[in-house]
Amino acid sequence: MERIVEANGIRLWCETFGDPAGPALLLVMGLGARGTTWPDEFCRLLQEGGRYVIRYDNRDTGLSSGVDFEAKPYTMIDLAQDAVGLLDGLGIAVADVVGASMGGMIAQEIALEHADRLRSLTVIMSSAEPLDPVTNTFRGAQRDPRLAAWDAEQIANPPSTREEHVEAHLKLARILTGRLTAFDEAATRAIIEREIESAAGAAPASKNHILAAFASRDRSGLVGSITAPTLVIHGTDDPMAPIAHGEALAAAIPNSEFLPIEGMGHGFPAPALPRISAAILRHTGR
């Protein structure tokens, strides 16, 4: 079921799966990506596990409100407040929160700033480290040379047409794919085209989300205070957020569990979905 919720002074698009009477599970997506980037199959597996699944578009993404970042800058804390406002609008007092990539950063802020609103925390392919505006990567990590080359290409020849945007994002998706599965160009192209056509496209969202990440605080010295039961999931082949970041996050949060996924890059390959969803269902069912 799709709906628009007024939250934190903006409009947020969301889609829900399952019985609203079941335990709520909020999926928080990452930089520039729509909520529909959470795979349908993944949502189905969680729903079949008895969860009331919610995926949504962050501000500046998809069908949610766009923001003039220069006039109204924001950080991960504001995006966390959006998520809490969405729960308010849906009449949900507490939820299991699952965040991927930048969504994992938002999820950490929910756990830090709104501890009473989540039952558990799951962080996938993310980090507690701040994003370095010089290297455009997490502090302490070297930029993968393939990503550095992609960045340089976007600066030298920024895409201007719809097809150029699609091709640029296809190149990025290919880089982010790990060894676990072959790159599915047709399926990936369909997802990218759907996101670009759904609203203004991913480019403005990516730009504003990057600025928000640069403006956000360093959480590495703060996550040790998280008391929510925490599961950290990370792919061994992640070029965007190397697995050391997931290991460090799990080590910093007391009593957390760390689950490495061999061969997974920065994404959700189909072969990994049953294992990831089963781990989340087990974690949230404790």
Single out the catalytic residue among 209, 266, 277, 283.
266
Alpha helices in 199-242 (DSSP H): 202-215
Burial per residue of 92-121, b for 16 or more beta-carbon CB atoms within 10 angstroms, e otherwise: beebbbbbbbbbbbbbbbbbbebeebbebb
Let me know: does 147 contact 239? Beta carbons within 8 Å.
yes
Bridge partner list, 14:
3, 56
**Which residue is catalytic, options 238, 245, 256, 283?**
238
DSSP states along 4-45? EEEETTEEEEEEEES-TTSPEEEEE--TT--GGGS-HHHHHH
Can 101 be counted among the known catalytic residues? yes
Cβ 212 vs Cβ 73: under 8 Å: yes
Pair 242, 176: CB distance under 8 Å: no
Distance CA 177, CA 191 (A): 15
Among candidate residues 101, 127, 256, 277, the one labeled active-site is 101
User: CA 98, 105, 93, 81: dihedral to nearest 10 degrees?
Assistant: -150
CB contact at 8 A, 208 and 69: yes
Please state, in angstroms and as integers, the Cα–Cα distance from residue 143 to each residue in 91, 134, 135, 146, 167, following that order: 42, 10, 7, 8, 22
Question: Which residue numbers are catalytic?
Answer: 101, 238, 266
